[in-house]
Amino acid sequence: MTLIGERERVEIRKILGTMKHPVKLINFTQTFECDTCLDTRQLLEEVAGLSDKLTLEVLNFTIDTARAAEYNVDKVPATVIEGDGNQRIRFYGVPGGYEFASLLDAIVLASQRESGLAADARAAVALINKPLHLEVLVTPT
């Protein structure tokens, strides 16, 4: 059974068709004590199958600890969207519901190799001279 229906697949292919460069999805998962890991993996497998510019790597969080540390992943399920170079966006939990649109937007954004920020915003960001940890939290309603 698929999580994404055929009509939705058509729309997702259109969205992913706007990708300019390849993007890699990295799914950190585990078998035990993770009620949503399997759903997350299946969803990512289905999405990755909808574009030739999208690949998926599945890693076991409890075994691939060095890779988890490399990507600063500290819980599962986790999805890392990796564009060119050090461009990374992390999602925790199942990117379903309203978060699914955010996942698709993040994939397309990572493929663009540019932030889309205005020049003055890029200049302000360039002034940041130490690591910055930014989190956006959402809650199901």
> CB-hemisphere CA count at 13 Å for 72?
12
Cβ atoms of 37 and 56 within 8 Å: the answer is: no
Q: Which pLDDT score, from 0 to 100, does residue 41 have?
A: 97
47 band by pLDDT with thresholds 50, 70 and 90? very high
Decide if 66 contacts 73 (C-beta within 8 A): no
Contact (Cβ atoms closer than 8 angstroms) between residue 77 and residue 28: yes
Which residues, other chains included, contact 62 with Cβ-Cβ below 8 Å and sequence gap of 6+? Answer: 30
Q: Which CA distances in Å does 36 have to 42, 57, 62, 92, 140?
A: 10, 17, 16, 10, 14
State pTM to two decimals. Answer: 0.89
The answer, yes or no, to whether residue 33 has pLDDT greater than 80, is yes
Least confident range of 18-32, 57-71, 72-86: 72-86
Percent of the chain at pLDDT > 90 equals: 79
Q: Out of 44-53, 60-69, 73-82, 113-122, which region has the weakest mean confidence (pLDDT)?
A: 113-122
Determine whether 91 is exposed, middle or buried from the number of CB atoms within 10 Å of its CB (0-12, 13-18, 19+).
Answer: buried
Q: Are 106 and 81 contacting, i.e. CB atoms less than 8 angstroms apart?
A: yes
**CB contact set of 18 (below 8 Å; sequence gap of 6+):** 108
What's the CATH code, domain 6-126? 3.40.30.10
